[in-house]
Amino acid sequence: MLHSTWSPSYADRRAPATPADVDAAVELLRGHRVLAITGAGISTDSGIPDYRGPDAVPRSPMTYQQFVADPGFRRHYWARNHVGWHHMRATRPNDGHRALARLEQAGVVSGVITQNVDRLHQAAGARNVVDLHGHYDEVICLDCGRVISRRELDARLTALNPDFLDTLDVADVEVAPDADAVIERTAHFRVASCEACGGVLKPNIVYFGENVPRERVARAYEMVDDATAILTAGTSLAVQSGLRLVRRAARDGKPVVIVNRGVTRGDEHATMRLNAGTSETLTRLAETLAP
């Protein structure tokens, strides 16, 4: 079950990684089939804030139980999501996403498992991608299981709330990695229900308190087992869904390189840790391993 109360218990006193540190990581990964595991930190350079990063403001993410139990909560959620989605769909991949796609094309990276829901790896051209926590661009009916595109739902939400987006100041909106934007004025927002059965619609995203679908977990483990090394980028590995993949690889004796600003929950499994941003580090890896 997706759940985490983890936060670093000690400060990260490491100096930022030097070019020599990055070159050492290159040499460690050279010749391997590398599986990349990514998190919110890889998308911050695309303008999507990382709410777990070292500079993040603590906030409590919505739980699945809150969403299911409380219609008022759902109204508030969908109002925020309506704004967040319009921001999210305008975001573009950055150098980190592009570097991983290039490494995949060169056969260095075997695939990407991401905890992000933003689809930016695919937008950058990556092909073998598992969106561990789902996708922001799909919506599922909790009653009949029908999946529709978020774009299709947007047309309905906009028709139900024609002036909603116009009445907001940009300052009212804070966009978080789950396409969840913080707004105060949501009380009159009108929520759409499933057109097939009238049921409750939910973004096709795995929330706290919810399980990652079994077949998706199995696919992720297959990718770990198929790789000979792991590269994590922009994730503190705070939730089990990502951490357990790193544990599995480390248990099997595979090298694990962690690229992240700040400490991570997986540090004890790391062969090498780089205190570094993902865009510049992954670009350097791609320049060297996939010239």
Give the residue numbers marked as catalytic: 133
Which residue number, 202 or 261, has a Cβ lying nearer to Zn ion?
202
d(CA 121, CA 171): 28
Total number of residues binding Zn ion (CB under 5 A)?
A: 8
Of these, 199, 200, 247, 288, which contacts Zn ion (CB under 5 A)? 199
Q: Is 147 in the site for Zn ion (CB under 5 A)?
A: no
Span 7-46, contacts to Zn ion by CB under 5 A: none
User: What residue spans of 106-239 are helical by DSSP H?
Assistant: 120-123, 150-160, 214-226
Name the residue with tokens 């205190």. Answer: 275
Q: Is 282 in contact with 41 (CB distance < 8 Å)? A: no
CB of 148 to Zn ion, least distance (A): 9
Q: Is 191 in the site for Zn ion (CB under 5 A)?
A: no
Of these, 59, 196, 211, 218, which contacts Zn ion (CB under 5 A)? 196
Backbone angles phi, psi at 126, to 5 degrees: -65, 145
Of these, 106, 147, 159, 197, which contacts Zn ion (CB under 5 A)? 197
Nearest to 138 by CA among 204, 75, 90, 189: 204
Q: Is 141 in the site for Zn ion (CB under 5 A)?
A: yes
Of these, 194, 233, 237, 257, which contacts Zn ion (CB under 5 A)? 194
d(CA 235, CA 270): 13
Of these, 1, 106, 144, 147, which contacts Zn ion (CB under 5 A)? 144
Lookup: tokens for 62: 């919505």
Q: Is 218 in the site for Zn ion (CB under 5 A)?
A: no
Helix, strand or coil, per DSSP, at residue 169: coil
CB of 85 to Zn ion, least distance (A): 20
Binding site listing for Zn(2+): 141, 144, 194, 197
Which residue number, 47 or 198, has a Cβ lying nearer to Zn ion?
198
d(CA 189, CA 185): 9
Number of C-beta neighbours around residue 202 at 10 A: 20
Question: Of how many residues is the chain composed?
Answer: 291
Q: Which stretch binds Zn ion (CB under 5 A): 29-37, 140-148, 224-232, 269-277?
A: 140-148
Binding site listing: 39-59, 115-118, 141, 144, 194, 197, 234-236, 260-262, 278
Q: Which stretch binds Zn ion (CB under 5 A): 4-12, 43-51, 109-117, 192-200?
A: 192-200
Which residue number, 106 or 196, has a Cβ lying nearer to Zn ion?
196
* Torsion angle of the four alpha carbons 99, 103, 104, 109, in this order, in degrees rounded to the nearest 10: -110
Q: Is 143 in the site for Zn ion (CB under 5 A)?
A: yes
Q: Which stretch binds Zn ion (CB under 5 A): 25-33, 137-145, 155-163, 218-226?
A: 137-145
d(CA 130, CA 122): 10
Helix, strand or coil, per DSSP, at residue 280: helix
Half-sphere exposure (Cβ direction) of 239: Cα atoms closer than 13 Å: 24
Binding site for Zn ion (CB under 5 A): 141, 143-144, 146, 194, 196-197, 199
